[in-house]
Amino acid sequence: MIINKTAGLRGDSVPWYFRKAALGPRVGKRPWGALVGILGYPQFVDGGRVTAPHVGLYGLTFEWEVENRGIVPNVKVELDPQAWRQGRDPQFDDTVEAVLDQLEKSPLPAYKRPAYPKYN
């Protein structure tokens, strides 16, 4: 999974779930570390609103898991604007390399397709 330091809430939550499920490597830069929620603030008389985050992610290890830390990548890769302008994406390239390496070390299982049922 490519992770990015400029991503917001989903930039931390999806990599957090990905890490918890042990689905594969995380490549890129650590997201900024904010998994907080904003719930039900009343509207002002003029229709405007003000919000403040007040819900965080308390994990199964009995501690705050993401807030102010973010999700650490397995492979750290800097964003490279010059490479991007040249049509290359180092984060994507390194992600593909990491996934192919993981598949080589731990190939996916081969599943046998069941016979089609015969309905009479």
CATH class, 2-38+51-105 region: alpha beta
**Residue 64 φ/ψ, nearest 5 degrees:** -70, 125
Contact 48, 107 (CB under 8 A): no
Cα dihedral 80/29/3/85 (nearest 10): -10
* pLDDT value at residue 8: 66
pLDDT band at 9 (very low <50, low <70, confident <90, very high): low
Record the pTM: 0.68
DSSP 8-51: -HHHHHHHHHHHHTT-S--EE-------EE---PPPPTTS----
Least confident of 7-11, 35-39, 81-85, 102-106: 7-11
Length of the chain: 120
Q: What is the pLDDT of residue 105?
A: 92
- Spatial separation of the C-alpha atoms in residues 44 and 66, rounded to whole Å: 32
pLDDT band at 114 (very low <50, low <70, confident <90, very high): very high
pLDDT tens track for 73-87: 999 988 888 998 999
pLDDT, residue 53, reads 76
Question: Mean pLDDT of all residues in the chain?
Answer: 85
Cα–Cα distance between 46 and 19 in angstroms, integer?
Answer: 44
Apex CA 11: angle with CA 97 and CA 50, to 5°?
Answer: 170
